[in-house]
Amino acid sequence: GAGVSQSPRYKVAKRGQDVALRCDPISGHVSLFWYQQALGQGPEFLTYFQNEAQLDKSGLPSDRFFAERPEGSVSTLKIQRTQQEDSAVYLCASSATSGGDIRGDTQYFGPGTRLTVL
């Protein structure tokens, strides 16, 4: 596709339910990032993939959060036993390169998934 897509765009979950959020990055992009954006705040880093390898998961707020990218393209962010504090917009971004001498490679963002936990 032309850009990063995310699905669903909106998700309402009851507290305690598990949810899965999908990200389709730009074709061929090596790097994939997940961010959490609370209402009125800037995006906060959750995790980073380089191809299928999850190189950094330091931003995941608890062990209820799990992300995967098994084939190095589509990624899924899973939240188990959702809590009200998980309500946020979850953003996915991809970039073409993996770093090296390409600093500050442009990250292209999807529209996000707005998760509301009741």
Partner 1 sequence: AQSVTQPDIHITVSEGASLELRCNYSYGATPYLFWYVQSPGQGLQLLLKYFSGDTLVQGIKGFEAEFKRSQSSFNLRKPSVHWSDAAEYFCAVGAWVTSYDKVIFGPGTSLSVIP
Q: 33-49 burial by CB neighbour count: b if 16+ within 10 A, else e?
A: bbbbeeeeeebeebbbb
Tell me if 25 contacts partner 1 by CB under 8 A.
no
Tell me if 8 contacts partner 1 by CB under 8 A.
no
Closest CA to 72 of 32, 112, 19: 32
Tell me if 43 contacts partner 1 by CB under 8 A.
yes
Q: Which of 7, 20, 22, 45 is in the footprint of partner 1 by CB under 8 A?
A: 45
Q: Which of 11, 36, 110, 117 is in the footprint of partner 1 by CB under 8 A?
A: 110
Nearest distance, CB of residue 20 and partner 1, angstroms: 20
Largest CA distance in the chain: 45
Tell me if 66 contacts partner 1 by CB under 8 A.
no
Q: Binding segment for partner 1 among 15-23, 33-41, 69-77, 79-87 (CB under 8 A)?
A: 33-41
- Whichever of 23 and 117 has its CB closer to partner 1, that residue is 23
Tell me if 57 contacts partner 1 by CB under 8 A.
no
Q: Which two tokens stand for residue 10?
A: 């909106």
Tell me if 93 contacts partner 1 by CB under 8 A.
yes
Residues 6+ apart with CB under 8 A from 42: none
Quote the distance between the C-alpha of residue 96 and its chain's center: 16
